[in-house]
Amino acid sequence: METSDAATYWDKVYAQRPAPADPQPNVRLVETVTALPPGDALDLGCGGGGDALWLASRGWRVTALDVSAVAATRLDRLARTRGLSDRITAKQHDARASLPGLRFDLVTAHYFHTPYGQDRAGILRSAAHLLRPGGRLLVVDHGSTAPWSWNQDPDVRYPTPQEVAALMRLSPAQWTVERADAPRRTAVGPDGRTAEVIDHVLLILRNE
């Protein structure tokens, strides 16, 4: 799928949902980042904007990317409304094409899944190399299918965090896997339904 097709697909997905007035951060982000000192963060696939807004409210400077212009525009509007526009740069951008030429203390990729083809491991590896020493890459993937997921394929298999780390091919001399597990939680979907879901959580520290 070309960039224009991917953008059109995700624009339609977000346009069909009401713009959230108060998007919330992902649980795994909060539990991972709360104790960290603020710095520069890259949010890959910013979606509804809850993660970027939460990070900015805690002093982080956030570059938030999404292939959907609808998502990026909504986040930019919320950032301005909340007085956080100096801490959030929201951009429509296809990570398959390139990543920012900047350095970060945190890269976060929550549910960075898509129905169109992409070298996901390659993108995550490139994003990890944008980290400063001491920076962290947080990848949170689906480990189960929620009732509201766009992918209802009963045969879908979700790679484990360990498998995702292996596919990234990061040198153990430079990188340390700090967390790789599959916790459960009760999630709320866009339509208000709740369900127990599994998250695949991978946290990698750049040593040098």
82 three-class SS: coil
CB 23 within 8 A of CB 48: yes
In sign, the C-alpha dihedral spanning 51, 54, 58, 64 is positive
pLDDT at 3: 58
CA dist 95 and 68 (Å) reads 11
Give one DSSP letter per residue of 142-180, joined into a string: ESS--TT-S---TT--PPPHHHHHHHHT--TTTEEEEEE
pLDDT tens, position by position, 13-31: 889 888 888 999 999 999 9
| Residue 65 banded pLDDT, cuts 50, 70, 90 | very high
Residue 1 confidence class, pLDDT cut points 50, 70, 90: very low
Report whether pLDDT(2) > 60: no
User: What is the b/e burial string over 137-163, where b = at least 16 CB atoms within 10 angstroms of the residue's CB?
Assistant: bbbbbbbbbbeebeeeeeeeebbbbee
pTM of the model: 0.92
Domains of the chain: 3-206 (3.40.50.150)
pLDDT-derived band at 153, boundaries 50, 70, 90: confident
Percent of the chain past pLDDT 90, that is, above it, reads 74
Give residue 175's pLDDT: 97
Mean pLDDT (the chain, rounded): 92
Q: Give whole-number Cα distances, 52 to 11, 33, 153, 199, in Å.
A: 19, 12, 30, 20
| Mean pLDDT value of segment 161-168 | 97
What would the mean pLDDT of 97-110 be, rounded to a whole number? 96
Pairwise CA distance, residues 28 & 48, whole Å: 16
